[in-house]
């Protein structure tokens, strides 16, 4: 599902993988914009605030890998800003 808010296109609920220190985890993007993403996780990695991560977002025809910095995290989700 996509909608426009604050003049930005956002995508919701897409499966994603992300890596922290070369360890790969799975999650779901709850909210994705051009600037960052809110990612829900089943198992939160060790404290990752301010860590640099790589997010792999797959669509039907391609895979996009984005570098990001974790802006905040809790036990089930984190917010990442693309760099």
pLDDT of residue 49: 87
The mean predicted confidence, pLDDT, of the chain is 82
User: Distance between CA 22 and CA 40 in Å, rounded?
Assistant: 19
**What would the pLDDT profile of 29-53 be if each residue is shown by its tens digit?**
988 888 999 999 887 677 888 999 9
Residue 1's pLDDT band (cuts 50, 70, 90)? very low
- What are the chain's domains? 2-82 (2.40.10.220)
DSSP per-residue string spanning 10-38: EE--EEEEEEETTEEEEEEEEEE-SSEEE
């Amino acid at each position: 599902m996509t909608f426009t808010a604050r003049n930005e296109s956002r995508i919701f609920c897409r499966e994603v993988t992300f890596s922290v220190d070369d360890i790969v985890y799975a999650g779901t993007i709850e909210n994705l914009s051009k600037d960052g993403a809110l990612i829900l996780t089943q198992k939160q990695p060790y404290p990752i605030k301010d860590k640099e991560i790589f997010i792999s977002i797959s669509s039907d025809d391609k895979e996009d890998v984005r570098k990001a910095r974790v802006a905040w995290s809790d036990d089930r989700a984190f917010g990442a800003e693309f760099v």
